[in-house]
Amino acid sequence: MEKQVRVRFAPSPTGALHIGGVRTALYNYLFAKKMGGIMILRIEDTDQTRFVAGAEKYIQESLEWCGIKLDESPWNGGQHAPYRQSERKPMYMAYALRLVEEGNAYYAFDTPEELEEMRTRLEAAKVVSPQYNAITRTQMKNSLTLPEDEVKRRLASGEPYVIRLKVPRKEEVRLQDMIRGWIMVHSSAIDDKVLMKSDGMPTYHLANVVDDHLMEITHVIRGDEWLPSAPLHVLLYKYFGWEDTMPQFAHLPVLLKPTGEGKLSKRDGDKFGFSVFPLQYHDPENPQNSSSGFREDGYTKEAFINFLAFLGWNPGQGSQKEMFSMEELIEAFSIERIGKAGIKFDINKAKWYNQQYLKLKSTTELTEFLFIDLKANHLVCEQSKAEKITDLLKERIVFPTDLYKEGIYFFKTPTTYDPEIVKSRWNDEVKTALNGIKEALSLESEITAASVKELIHSVLEKLGIKMGKVMQGVRLAITGVGAGADLMETMAILGKTEVLKRIELSLKVLG
């Protein structure tokens, strides 16, 4: 029987979860569900210096908003609980000691000053990347260089120490990445990474590998910033004797700045005016880290997920389909269809998706958004009128708040007029047309879009004025701006009295 697929998303609670992290979570989830497998969330909080209170809650809320459901996590438990590495702390030391006993790791007692001294010495000798490795370790204070009884004495006296991996000097480390293919690294390029820190906490590398093994992870799907760590992890699997059950690796392509140069960062979001976080984030300790989120910016979760899914994956040649629900994504997903190349972040694509998903919502649902803004602005509007406005504007909006923004002139009689349009469109012909329309309108009882269209046509025909020449001026008089939804429909919603009032006002104000 095939082994059940078990994947994990393993964020560190060091701040707001970046959009790239959400994509990693999403791809893990899609793969797990596609394969009938299990999706796990593990909190990797072994680096206490980078811990940020509230970050874990933020991760939880973000995934909930996205609809990424976890089978095992710190919040809903599971067969391998606990799922926070800080709570798993007692179990890591035994693994590190096992490596020491078997000669694959060693104690190192070097002080920060001694390490600094080594770096300076190597830099002076023009060593390209000065590191603690198979060569330099021979000159340092560790259990490979110190006499055994001294090592014992130092350990017994409680002297601070770390445990380092003893990386072989000459060995080829190979791994097959599901996205990148075969990767080969020479062990001389890997340094003797610290596995256990002097505070008794494991480092990311040890905890990550031990936990992936204990949690029976079958596939490690993560950002490609972890690719350089993968050979080291492969060595750890080998030394632990877990090669048979080593997970398969898939390193996801990097998300690039909108310009395509370099990795997408929070600063790019600030610069180009979009968020790189799923939810609004407030960092009480460092307010400058606070940021808005896709949710608060008005993106629907369906649009956000659909947009994210396509940042690195596609359904394959021949498929024109762009709109995918979560269920459809699960159905269509495969790791083979994830590309290697970095993906340029294009916020316009996210907007496009949002527009499409808003269009799919019912008028009643969308009208609720309009009422939120009306209420906030202390404006009242009848339900039926609000629905008509929503219906009219539906095709034009990218965000729910656009209903109010675009439709503001339905609720407030314009008192100012777009100066650009006044300059280019306000002229005697428009004024003549407006006077004619005003006269004809006052004879009507009520108007519909069709009747007002007919009315304007016949007025202009009588006056010998071409419709195309004056309509933008007429729109200006009624809405204060030069563009918007269908003008006849707009006038019908406003009603005869309001339209007359606005025509008169514009003639008075603009002269």
CB of 144 to ligand GLU, least distance (A): 28
CB of 222 to ligand GLU, least distance (A): 4
Residue 318 gets the label, from left (phi > 0), alpha (psi -120 to 50) or beta, of left
φ/ψ (deg, to 5) at 176: -110, 115
**Which helix (H) or strand (E) is 303 found in, with range?**
helix 301-309
CB of 12 to ligand GLU, least distance (A): 4
Per-residue DSSP letter, 338: B
Rounded-to-integer distance, Cα 46 and Cα 458, Å:
78
Strand order in the sheet with 38-41: 38-41, 6-9, 219-223, 248-252, 172-177, 181-186
**Nearest CB to ligand GLU, comparing residues 220 and 460:** 220
**Nearest CB to ligand GLU, comparing residues 196 and 250:** 250
CB of 43 to ligand GLU, least distance (A): 9
Assess 390 for contact with ligand GLU (CB under 6 A): no
Across 488-503, b (16+ Cβ under 10 Å) vs e yields bbbbbbbebeebbebb
CB of 237 to ligand GLU, least distance (A): 13
**Nearest CB to ligand GLU, comparing residues 43 and 146:** 43
With contacts defined by CB under 6 A, name the span among 8-16, 68-76, 234-242, 416-424 that binds ligand GLU. 8-16
**Nearest CB to ligand GLU, comparing residues 226 and 399:** 226
Report the residue count for the chain: 511
CB of 54 to ligand GLU, least distance (A): 16
Show the site string, 186-205: x = touches ligand GLU by CB under 6 A, - = not: ------------------x-
Asked if 221 contacts 160 with a C-beta cutoff of 8 angstroms, the reply is no
Asked if 20 contacts 223 with a C-beta cutoff of 8 angstroms, the reply is yes
CB of 365 to ligand GLU, least distance (A): 36
Residues paired with residue 307 on neighbouring β-strands, in sequence order: none
- The single residue listed with the structure tokens 């300076």 is 120
- The single residue listed with the structure tokens 């000798």 is 125
- Measure CA 173 to chain center: 33
Show the site string, 16-45: x = touches ligand GLU by CB under 6 A, - = not: ----------------------------x-
**Nearest CB to ligand GLU, comparing residues 137 and 222:** 222
Assess 7 for contact with ligand GLU (CB under 6 A): no
Enumerate residues 6+ apart whose C-beta is below 8 A from 284: 54
Q: Taking CB under 6 A as the criterion, which residues in 205-234 touch ligand GLU?
A: 208, 222, 226
Name the catalytic one among 266, 301, 385, 431: 266
Is 496 one of the annotated active-site residues of the chain?
no
**Nearest CB to ligand GLU, comparing residues 12 and 490:** 12
DSSP letters for 32-99: HHHTT-EEEE-B----GGG--TTHHHHHHHHHHHHT---SBBTTTB-TT---BGGGGHHHHHHHHHHH
H-helix segments, 67-198? 89-101, 112-124, 148-156
With contacts defined by CB under 6 A, name the span among 9-17, 180-188, 271-279, 455-463 that binds ligand GLU. 9-17
Look at strands 343-344 and 255-256 and give their pairing. parallel
With contacts defined by CB under 6 A, name the span among 4-12, 272-280, 363-371, 484-492 that binds ligand GLU. 4-12
- Measure CA 374 to chain center: 30
- The single residue listed with the structure tokens 């398969």 is 248
Across 358-369, b (16+ Cβ under 10 Å) vs e yields beebeeeebbeb
**Nearest CB to ligand GLU, comparing residues 221 and 256:** 221
Assess 12 for contact with ligand GLU (CB under 6 A): yes
**Nearest CB to ligand GLU, comparing residues 55 and 492:** 55
Q: Taking CB under 6 A as the criterion, which residues in 225-284 touch ligand GLU?
A: 226
Query: What tokens appear for 283 in the block?
Result: 């960092």
CB of 230 to ligand GLU, least distance (A): 9
Assess 11 for contact with ligand GLU (CB under 6 A): yes
**Which helix (H) or strand (E) is 8 found in, with range?**
strand 6-9
CB of 306 to ligand GLU, least distance (A): 24
With contacts defined by CB under 6 A, name the span among 6-14, 182-190, 365-373, 399-407 that binds ligand GLU. 6-14
CB of 249 to ligand GLU, least distance (A): 9
Among 7, 10, 305, 485, binds ligand GLU (CB under 6 A): 10
**Nearest CB to ligand GLU, comparing residues 11 and 414:** 11
Assess 56 for contact with ligand GLU (CB under 6 A): no
What value does the CA radius of gyration of the chain take, rounded to a whole number of Å? 32
Task: Kindly state the number of chain residues that form the binding site for ligand GLU, as judged by CB under 6 A.
Answer: 8
**Nearest CB to ligand GLU, comparing residues 17 and 332:** 17
Strands, E assignment, 137-271? 162-165, 172-177, 181-186, 194-196, 219-223, 248-252, 255-256
Catalytic residues: 266
Contact residues toward ligand GLU (CB under 6 A) are 10-12, 44, 204, 208, 222, 226
